[in-house]
Amino acid sequence: MKEFLKEIFDNTKTIAVIGLSPNKDKPSHKAAAFMRSHGFRIIPVYPKEDFILGQKVYRSLDEIHERVDMVNVFRKAEFAFEILKQIEKRDDIKTLWLQLGIINDKAMEIAQSLGLHAVQDKCVMIEYKKLESSRC
**pLDDT score, position 11:** 95
Residues 6+ apart with CB under 8 A from 103: 77, 120, 121
- pLDDT confidence bin for 23, thresholds 50/70/90: very high
Specify the 3-state DSSP secondary structure of 113. helix
Looking at residue 7, which CATH number applies to its domain?
A: 3.40.50.720
- pLDDT confidence bin for 63, thresholds 50/70/90: very high
For residue 117, the enclosing domain spans 2-134
Specify the 3-state DSSP secondary structure of 36. helix
**pLDDT score, position 135:** 65
Does 25 score more than 70 pLDDT?
yes
d(CA 58, CA 105) in angstroms, rounded, equals 27
d(CA 110, CA 120) in angstroms, rounded, equals 13
d(CA 114, CA 128) in angstroms, rounded, equals 24
Number of domains in the chain: 1
**pLDDT score, position 94:** 98
Mean pLDDT across the stretch 34-43?
A: 97
- pLDDT confidence bin for 30, thresholds 50/70/90: very high
Q: What is the C-alpha radius of gyration for the chain, rounded to an integer number of angstroms?
A: 14
The tens digit of pLDDT for each residue in 68-105 reads 999 999 999 999 999 999 999 999 999 999 999 999 99
**pLDDT score, position 86:** 96
Does 136 score more than 60 pLDDT?
no
